[in-house]
Amino acid sequence: MWLLPRRRGLIVKVLLVVPVTWLVITLLLTYTDRVQTPQNRGDEPAKGGQDLLPEKQGVDESEHVAPLARKRANREKALSKEEHKNEVDHAPAPVGVLAPPRNPDGPGEMGRPVVLKDLTKEQEAKVKLGWDRNAFNQYISDMISLHRSLPDVRDSECKDERYLKDLPSTSVIVCFHNEAWSVLLRTVHSIIDRSPPKLLHEIILVDDYSDMPHLKQKLEDYVAHFPKVKIVRAQKREGLIRARLLGAAAATAPVLTYLDSHCECTEGWLEPLLDRIARNSTTVVCPVIDVISDSTFEYHYRDSGGVNVGGFDWNLQFSWHAVPERERQRRKHSWDPVWSPTMAGGLFSIDKAFFEKLGTYDSGFDIWGGENLELSFKTWMCGGTLEIVPCSHVGHIFRKRSPYKWRSGVNVLRRNSVRLAEVWLDEYKQYYYQRIGDDLGDFGDVSARKRLRDNLKCRSFDWYVRTIYPELFVPGDAVASGEVRNKGQGGSSCLDSPSGRDNMHKPVGMYPCHGQGGNQYWMLSKEGEIRRDEACLDYAGSDVILYPCHGSKGNQLWIYDDASGTVQHGSSRKCLEMSEDRQKVSMEICSGSLRQSWIFQNYNKTKAIKISSRGH
């Protein structure tokens, strides 16, 4: 009789062990089948003209990848063909299928750079092709996981639960045109992977009439695995502005979040943005925009102390500036939102109802350009607030050129900027028109946009300048504005220099006067600066260059004598002189030469007397 309990116990054990064993075997078999199915590979290089990586053998990373990634390559050589497949990311599997493991040492993980070394000629050709197509290193992007890890770049205070519990959900709108497969999908996956599901209502991908095959059915098949991802297709090339309006029309969440198609969201990026809108629906918010290297895909980030604010110049071009002292004093903590006069325009969140109240974008704007300033101006002038939120970080690939072709015969930026000036700048529009030689061109009918502004009872642009952006240098305050013409060699040459960020620290030159403003538009300030908006003529003993204005005089102090026409440097006491070949300028001992004599356009002697009375 004592054997009966033992047999019963054995039977019970068998009944328990057998089902568990079969369950484990089933899961393992399903997983093996999952990773061996090529069509499910989420990181498979795009076909149809997009595949830059070798199709059969994969990438021999030991030949051209930095040391960290090379360790992974060496390890992979020891794996079998099937084991190697286990290390790539995959599209979503059916319910119950185990997720593939992630390799923490893979290329680009934790935002680390990928450096190519010892490339073959074939690889060099593919790298060049990727640059030509996209204006960034697509070859490296295709090596990096679509789900790559990034560092948590938030300040420690941002990680505290300081946000409202009941936050609105958002529709994230991503517009694209012929975007690279890996970059577009890495954008999508970073949104999904790092957004609370209850706050992410949907992702709307707006295809602005792409013609690359990988963005057709292949993309449809891929996003079919993600119920929250939708594709809206434009029926013709619309341009960024109207593509965004297509996305807004399709969105069903109370908050709209716009992102570019070459971004990566970091941990905790969404909650801080939605929290500000939940507290005040007229607040428009932007994340801190970190830089993803276009060449190595390294993620560069800045802490709260390094946040900048948006501004603009009188060419109506956006620019970044340090947070002014008055704003530093207003804020209590480094993680507090920062008031910004303007926004870059590619990455922001806005209450949908408020966006519609403001008239969304001007549908008369063509392609892109100026829409960020228009939304910035009317947000402030029509009762809203524009903020940059230090606790929210999104990486962005900043390209040095646009890879896209636009139709010829239309000056898109000019048209948009003139419409912007006509509707929102009031009497200040003259300063922009001076920059373009008063050549307004055909900018269309703006009467409806002016009625919108009247109906909203918006404030004046003068209020905006004096209250929101008092740091802006106003040409009307200048002693002189326009061209700076040299009297020597026939008097037909003008001081000339582009003033973009890439042209800082480069020598200023001479060029035949053309009367169209642009690179020949200068302002002589009451402080003795010869400036182009926020860039000033600077001399430190070698070349005369453009350098960011610092307001401390010194190397940027110039004394103009309208009687003799001399422009004397305040600290060196040398005079600005045009070279004999009329190509360059230099600083020479004052001699009275005609090549040291200059005429400032629109010179106001009354204001100049105020300068001399200060002892300059």
pLDDT (tens digit per residue) in 78-105 = 333 333 333 333 333 333 334 445 688 8
State the average pLDDT over residues 240-255.
Answer: 97
pLDDT top residue among 503 and 398: 398
pLDDT category at 406 given cuts 50, 70, 90 is: low
Beta-bridged to residue 319, according to DSSP, are: 311
Predicted pLDDT at 68: 36
Predicted pLDDT at 109: 97
State the average pLDDT over residues 22-29.
Answer: 52
Predicted pLDDT at 304: 81
Integer Cα distance of 521 and 119 in angstroms: 46
pLDDT category at 32 given cuts 50, 70, 90 is: very low
Q: For residue 471, give the 3-state DSSP assignment.
A: coil
DSSP letter for 298, please.
-
Q: Any residues with CB less than 8 A from the CB of 398 and at least 6 apart, and which?
A: 291, 292, 294
Among candidate residues 168, 430, 423, the one with its CA nearest the CA of residue 279: 168
Domain-wise residue ranges, the chain: 45-143, 163-397, 412-468, 475-612
pLDDT top residue among 542 and 99: 542
Q: What is the pLDDT of residues 465-492, one digit of tens each?
A: 999 999 999 988 899 999 999 999 889 9
pTM of the model: 0.79
State the average pLDDT over residues 6-15.
Answer: 54
CB atoms within 10 A of CB 583: 12
Could you list the beta-strand ranges (E) of 475-550.
480-482, 484-486, 493-496, 509-512, 522-524, 530-532, 535-539, 544-548
Cα four-point dihedral sign 308, 313, 315, 316: positive
State the average pLDDT over residues 564-580.
Answer: 94
pLDDT category at 158 given cuts 50, 70, 90 is: very high
Predicted pLDDT at 293: 97
Cα-flanking dihedrals φ and ψ of residue 445, to 5°? -90, 125
DSSP letter for 102, please.
P
Among candidate residues 428, 420, 425, 435, the one with its CA nearest the CA of residue 498: 435
Predicted pLDDT at 465: 97
CB burial of residue 161 (10 Å; 0-12, 13-18, 19+): exposed
CATH number of 475-612: 2.80.10.50
Predicted pLDDT at 614: 41
Predicted pLDDT at 45: 39
Residue 341 has pLDDT above 90, yes or no: yes
Strands of the sheet containing 509-512, edge to edge, are 509-512, 493-496, 484-486, 598-600
User: Percentage of residues in the chain with pLDDT exceeding 90?
Assistant: 66
Rg for the chain (alpha carbons), in Å?
30
Mean of the per-residue pLDDT values for the chain? 84
Predicted pLDDT at 425: 98
CATH number of 163-397: 3.90.550.10
Q: Do domains 163-397 and 475-612 have the same CATH topology?
A: no
Domain range 412-468, its CATH number among 3.40.50.1000, 3.40.50.620, 1.10.8.460, 3.30.70.141: 1.10.8.460
Integer Cα distance of 130 and 126 in angstroms: 6
pLDDT category at 501 given cuts 50, 70, 90 is: confident
Integer Cα distance of 385 and 387 in angstroms: 6
